[in-house]
A = this chain, B = another copy of it.
Amino acid sequence: MAAEARRGPYICGLDAAMDVVSGKWKSLILWELHHHGVRRFGELRRGLPGVSEKMLIQHLREMAEDGLVHREVYREVPPRVEYSLTEHGTSLNEALRALGAWGTARRQRLAAETPLNQVAG
């Protein structure tokens, strides 16, 4: 138990929410699980280009502890573990929709301001 999220004390609601989504890939994990419903570890890994196993499992564990994702383990050979959103995870995703829309608008604004260079990132 070393790399856990803060989990309070929080100053306000926004603070408590940000704590749960802070982490480079967490919002993307939420997004992935929201769209695919159920995903295995390897599927998530492939769906998040650039993520390391360490960060993925670490974020997944924290999100499970925070009650955002459900972790279902099938003791088979080869092993299989499936991740899905819980009720709280789903509601969090809903709460993030407005923010995602704002960000999309921002991206378009940014793209419009950039003629034709720098886009190549």
- A residues touching B (Cβ–Cβ < 8 Å)? 7-18, 20-22, 27-28, 31, 88, 91-92, 94-107, 110, 121
The residues of B that contact A88 with a CB separation of less than 8 Å are 106
Determine the chain B residues whose CB is within 8 A of the CB of A16 once the complex forms: 103-104, 106-107, 110
Q: Is there an interface contact between A15 and B98, defined as CB atoms closer than 8 Å?
A: no
The dominant DSSP class at the A interface is helix
Contact B12 A103 (CB under 8 A): yes
How many copies of this kind of chain does the complex include?
2
CB A42 to nearest CB in B, in angstroms, measures 20
By the criterion CB–CB under 8 Å, are B14 and A18 in contact? no
CB of A121 within 8 A of CB of B17, answer: no
A121 neighbours in B (Cβ, 8 Å): 8-9
A92, A94, A121 — most chain B CB neighbours (10 Å)? A92
A97/B98 contact (C-beta < 8 A), A13-B107, A28-B11, A28-B15 known:
yes
Contacts of A20 in B (CB 8 A): 103, 106
The residues of B that contact A18 with a CB separation of less than 8 Å are 21, 27, 99, 103
